[in-house]
Amino acid sequence: MSSTRILIVITGLQVGGAESMLFQLLTRWSKAISPVVVSLSDLGTIGDRLRRHGVRVETLGIGSTGLSRGLLRLYRLCRAERPDAVFTWLYHADLLGGLVARAAGCRKVIWNLRNTVIPWHAARWHVHLAARMCVLLSWWLPREVLCCSTRAAEAHARLGYRSRFRIIPNGFDCHRFQPDPGAGTALRRELGIPDRCLVVGRVARDDPQKDIPSFLAAAAELHSSLPDVRFVLAGKGLDTNNPAIVGDIQRLRLTDAVCLLGHRDDIPGLVAGFDLMVSSSIAEAFPNVLGEAMAAGVPCVATDVGDSATLLGGCGVIVPPGEPHRLAEACKEILSLDSESRSSLGRRARERIGKHYDLAEIAKQYEALLLEIAHGEG
């Protein structure tokens, strides 16, 4: 029996939560699926990794070569590949990839939504435009809409999406992310943090949705009562070349308490060195950083966005988004525990990930969905 041909269209392949999850899935699917990945933009870091794993990746370069030329190339790809189904990721790919797939004769289109509805100030106008256009086409264009969280499905239903929703949460690799007794010491040595200090981490890109200002405001309040706490920010744009972030740190008198690391390729080891992981986002569907930290046995504090509360399942503290004082109090609650109590909380978190969000099992659910739609009637 030949493999099922799946054309996967995604907005881009730079490092991000959706892109990283796609990589994790593609490298775990069986040979029952033969994927071709198409980036609307460029190759990116994730695209390069996929090619090194033997996955075929095509790029359209829409940002550089123009929209019409890129869409014509996508149309020709669809006609040449004759996929059994087209699986699109993120608003622009859902809209453009879905329309081109239908024009090329493929009626089996699955949209993949990776966020709750984004506040107007937290994304560019064209993101909101693509989302609104998807609303108008949702009753006709996709066979199903896949969401990574219940709240994402509910939010898009309220927005006006009219389609069948399917929910498959993100999965996490408990072999890649695991407790490391030496990680904390190694991190402190690297950053010059005294052994007595507790380390609070935030892994994210510099994006309004991640609400880094609220994290820093909470850090300032926490530091005033627990001066030995240190804060580590890692991710694209969270470095000393970012004048807004550096300015906030100086204004809040946190210069000696915050380490800006920027992009890192050693996230599993970095996260395992934290005493506490924080997610301060105002818009998320299913934060990967929380699941990764939990798999590493690190306690978490998160804002109540997307399915964060469901993911934590009592193995951390949930607070309202955009309230730095509540965020600081929640961090203090966990950091004030003795080391054994924090370790116990981390062990419970890791057990929860292994039981409910194992990556291998999640990959099988994705694969089963694609095969079901690709070989279903219609």
Q: How many Cα atoms sit within 13 Å of 84 on the Cβ side?
A: 18
Residue pair 334/345 in contact by the 8 Å Cβ criterion: yes
Pair 67, 191 in one domain: no
Side-by-side strand order, sheet with 109-113 = 56-59, 33-39, 4-10, 85-89, 109-113, 144-147, 165-167
- Is residue 355 pLDDT above 70, yes or no? yes
Q: What was the pLDDT predicted at 202?
A: 98
DSSP state at residue 40:
S
Pair 34, 81 in one domain: yes
Residue 137: CATH number of its domain: 3.40.50.2000
DSSP state at residue 317:
E
Pair 104, 188 in one domain: no
Q: What was the pLDDT predicted at 16?
A: 86
What is the pLDDT averaged over residues 334-347?
Answer: 96
Task: Name the residue among 39, 50, 164, 136 with its Cα closest to residue 90.
Answer: 39
The per-residue DSSP string of 82-131 comes to --SEEEEESHHIIIIIHHHHHHTT---EEEEE-SSPPPGGGS-HHHHHHH
For residue 267, give both structure tokens. Answer: 């996230």
- Is residue 85 pLDDT above 70, yes or no? yes
Q: How far apart are CA 26 and CA 244, in angstroms?
A: 37
Indicate the pairing of strand 276-279 with strand 300-303.
parallel
Looking at the structure of the chain, the number of domains it has is 2
Does 178 fall in a domain?
Answer: no
Does 337 fall in a domain?
Answer: yes
The per-residue DSSP string of 130-188 comes to HHHHHHHHTTTS-SEEEESSHHHHHHHHHHT--S-EEE----B-TTTS---TTHHHHHH
Q: What was the pLDDT predicted at 66?
A: 84
Does 49 fall in a domain?
Answer: yes
- Is residue 353 pLDDT above 70, yes or no? yes
Pair 9, 156 in one domain: yes
Whether the predicted model's global pTM rises above the 0.85 cut: yes
Q: What was the pLDDT predicted at 376?
A: 86
Pair 288, 365 in one domain: no
Pair 199, 300 in one domain: yes
What is the pLDDT averaged over residues 118-123?
Answer: 65
DSSP state at residue 309:
H
Q: What was the pLDDT predicted at 152?
A: 93
Q: What was the pLDDT predicted at 126?
A: 85
- Is residue 117 pLDDT above 80, yes or no? no
What is the pLDDT averaged over residues 337-362?
Answer: 97
Q: What was the pLDDT predicted at 356?
A: 97
Exposure letters 272-282 (e unless 16+ CB within 10 A, then b): bbbbbbbbbbb
The pLDDT confidence band at residue 64, using thresholds 50, 70 and 90, is confident
Does 102 fall in a domain?
Answer: yes
Does 243 fall in a domain?
Answer: yes
| Mean of per-residue pLDDT scores for the chain | 95
What is the pLDDT averaged over residues 273-299?
Answer: 96
Does 177 fall in a domain?
Answer: no
Pair 348, 364 in one domain: no
Over residues 259-285, the pLDDT tens digits come to 999 999 999 999 999 999 999 999 899
Pair 80, 10 in one domain: yes
Domain that holds residue 250: 183-356
Pair 98, 242 in one domain: no
What is the pLDDT averaged over residues 16-25?
Answer: 94
Q: How far apart are CA 76 and CA 87, in angstroms?
A: 17
Does 176 fall in a domain?
Answer: no
What is the pLDDT averaged over residues 286-314?
Answer: 97
Q: What was the pLDDT predicted at 121?
A: 66
What is the pLDDT averaged over residues 57-80?
Answer: 93
- Is residue 46 pLDDT above 60, yes or no? yes
Over residues 188-238, the pLDDT tens digits come to 999 999 999 999 999 999 999 999 999 999 999 999 999 999 999 999 999
Three-state DSSP class for residue 19: helix
- In the chain, what percentage of residues exceed pLDDT 90? 92
